[in-house]
Structure 1
């Protein structure tokens, strides 16, 4: 057993010695001067594989990252929702008493005026009752007047005068009742609007509560929609919302927030909001499906960065800035806390923590171990100068598109990007006072010829 153990030990030692000798013989001979020359002079050259982040050469390691400057652009803080349109005023006309229709004083889709008699029922019996009540009232008035004269002469008692006064009041009440019954046989338009399609004809006998026709006030329409409860602190009356419709491609209207429900729906955890739209062009109809974009605020010079530049840690957000190093021509990283604001597709607003000319890392954050790490950046969206790429860097650098830290000039503040033009062009509102006090509506369609007026 002892001899077998010795053989194993000798074999292991021999294999290790052979491996060490092979590595020594295959190692390339590097002269001391060449090795010293290969060492980084300013911290911008990548270290050898023997140097790691934790080794003696960790401080001089250069990390390749992608970066982009902070942009300034017009940004809108908004929220999107879906809703439905409804009339400012809508009513379905129904009779209060039973009767037979004798007159229909409107046509389907006709504009009607407040107080206009739309439907007349047979009122022969109520009119006769009114005449009877008027006759009884005349008798009661004459008796009461005569009793007042007789009591003044002392021929009758005061009791007779009181009885005649009570009879007069009863006769007046009977006349008012007969007139009220007769008036319920005429159905009037409660407000200015447009009549719908009737479902009755002259001669039909209707019971009380039967549907006759609907009347809609379409000069103003309401858009009802819901917003998440987290936005209830942002939405305010008087704010502007932009409303688009699937049924009307190329048409978009402006709405003003008029009312916010004080109670939050417990089922969907949403707050109901109502906006007002000027619809004097009569393009919109109640019941239409609407896509609402509520605008909470607008900023012309908002600072934005790509979303991939954000490094979240719990409830906090950080970014890595690229700043000038201590030695000329070098760049190092700096970790900064930021406060985020509104978001756009692929972009996020930075409310605090960055300036307009800062350069932030968008890719390669995982390679940065700590602040002060030397970096070699690629500025996105900033093309390389042709002369510098071909002359100083050579053809290889020009082909790769990578800009060394020493060759990247300090980024100038990005120009303010204009707000994205809306898809639909603005049209001027119709003349006259705007019922919703909305500045105007947006529509890709021209105004109707009858509605356009000079000036």
Structure 2
């Protein structure tokens, strides 16, 4: 009898529990409480961006140092005492401008002596020649030949001393700007001694190297954009005018030389510069922000948003410029991609876009 009552009591408790749960569910729906959603309905908040079409330049970047179009150290060819210096440091000079003079008194005397010896040799030769023509005296042919040889030697000696005399006046071989002089009036200089540097600053050159993989795409006249730390807010334009025909075996690079106009004189030889060589330009390139790219297993992907879901799509990248990167394949114009919130996503996840 007791077991029967116990069974009835348990059944009654179960019925009361079910009734309570049913009433609780109805009460929750009536008061508008939120429903607990399943995992398939959960959405992740993300930031998105559109794939845009815009022009982009395909460039290769290298570093190098600027050089003057022409640059030399002025050095005397003969020894002598400096008597006058005709230039000011930092002065612009034209071709042929007299820069300095050496004491030429000794060379003047030597040139005068050589000229006198030439006159004597010429008179001797002409006198012997006239005697032979007039037949007043028999002049042996050997004697006439010796007189001619002495005349030629005297003439050469005169030209030699005239040339040495000319070298006592040192002139600018091209137009440019003189630097800081290393000598003073009264200094005795030796042949080859440094006097002052001369730089042609109106045109500058830059040498840089690009990988051999770009060899087939190099051409004379290609545009080069230069940037320097000295002028961080300004760029300078130039063009390629020479490409070394030999590829360096040590680093498999091609030596390229470009030049640019420097009329305002802002740039100086020796400045470190970054050169961006324009290989090609595209007017309609697909561009996305760089933070769109997801790197996985040495590949590049992007989360493409379609109807509220994301699809992990492999993409191929091209050029980068100003925080954006070119997409060569994998995306199309006006595709929407995720640019923030990647770490919370997986392929097929449901998302909601941040306002």
The residue aligned with 2:334 is 357
The residue aligned with 2:126 is 145
The residue aligned with 2:264 is 281
Which whole-Å CA distance do the structure 2 matches of 1:379 and 1:131 have between them?
98
Q: Deviations over 1:79-107 (max 9, x none)?
A: 44443222111111111222111222222
Task: Describe how 1:132-281 pairs up with structure 2 within 5 A.
Answer: 132-154=113-135, 155-248=138-231, 250-265=233-248, 270-281=253-264
Normalising by the residue count of structure 1, what TM-score does the alignment of the two structures yield?
A: 0.59
* SS of structure 1 residue aligned to 2:198: strand
| Structure 2 contact 310–350 (Cα < 8 Å) conserved | no
Q: Deviations over 1:39-63 (max 9, x none)?
A: xxxxxxx9957xxxxxxxxxxx679
Task: Describe how 1:11-50 pairs up with structure 2 within 5 A.
Answer: none
| Structure 1 contact 320–365 (Cα < 8 Å) conserved | no
Deviation of 1:191 after TM superposition, in Å, equals 0.8
Which whole-Å CA distance do the structure 1 matches of 2:169 and 2:255 have between them?
38
Unpaired stretches in structure 2, ≥5 consecutive residues: 1-16, 23-35
| Structure 1 contact 114–189 (Cα < 8 Å) conserved | yes
Kindly tell me the number of residue pairs found equivalent between the two proteins.
323
The residue aligned with 1:119 is 100
Unpaired stretches in structure 1, ≥5 consecutive residues: 1-24, 31-45, 50-60, 324-329, 384-455
Deviation of 1:216 after TM superposition, in Å, equals 1.4
Mark the CA change 1:378 to 1:80 in structure 2 (over 3 Å): closer, same or farther: farther
* SS of structure 1 residue aligned to 2:264: coil
Structure 1 or 2: more strand by fraction: 2
Which whole-Å CA distance do the structure 2 matches of 1:283 and 1:348 have between them?
33
Normalising by the residue count of structure 2, what TM-score does the alignment of the two structures yield?
A: 0.74
Relative contact order, CA 8 A, sep 6+: which one is greater? 2
| Structure 1 contact 64–364 (Cα < 8 Å) conserved | no
Deviates more, 1:337-346 or 1:210-219: 337-346
Which whole-Å CA distance do the structure 1 matches of 2:105 and 2:234 have between them?
53
Aligned residue among 58, 61, 74 for 1:93: 74
Q: Deviations over 1:250-305 (max 9, x none)?
A: 44322223333444555555444333221111222222233433333333331023
| Structure 2 contact 238–258 (Cα < 8 Å) conserved | yes
| Structure 1 contact 229–270 (Cα < 8 Å) conserved | yes
Q: Deviations over 1:10-39 (max 9, x none)?
A: xxxxxxxxxxxxxxx99x999xxxxxxxxx
Deviation of 1:78 after TM superposition, in Å, equals 3.0
Aligned residue among 41, 50, 53 for 1:72: 53
* SS of structure 2 residue aligned to 1:367: coil
| Structure 1 contact 227–271 (Cα < 8 Å) conserved | yes
Q: Deviations over 1:307-366 (max 9, x none)?
A: 56556677765656555xxxxxx6777776644321235532123443313344664897
Which whole-Å CA distance do the structure 2 matches of 1:264 and 1:177 have between them?
46
| Structure 2 contact 77–192 (Cα < 8 Å) conserved | yes
Mark the CA change 1:345 to 1:102 in structure 2 (over 3 Å): closer, same or farther: closer
Deviation of 1:190 after TM superposition, in Å, equals 0.8
Task: Describe how 1:291-310 pairs up with structure 2 within 5 A.
Answer: 291-307=274-290
* SS of structure 2 residue aligned to 1:340: strand
* SS of structure 1 residue aligned to 2:70: strand
Which whole-Å CA distance do the structure 2 matches of 1:69 and 1:287 have between them?
44
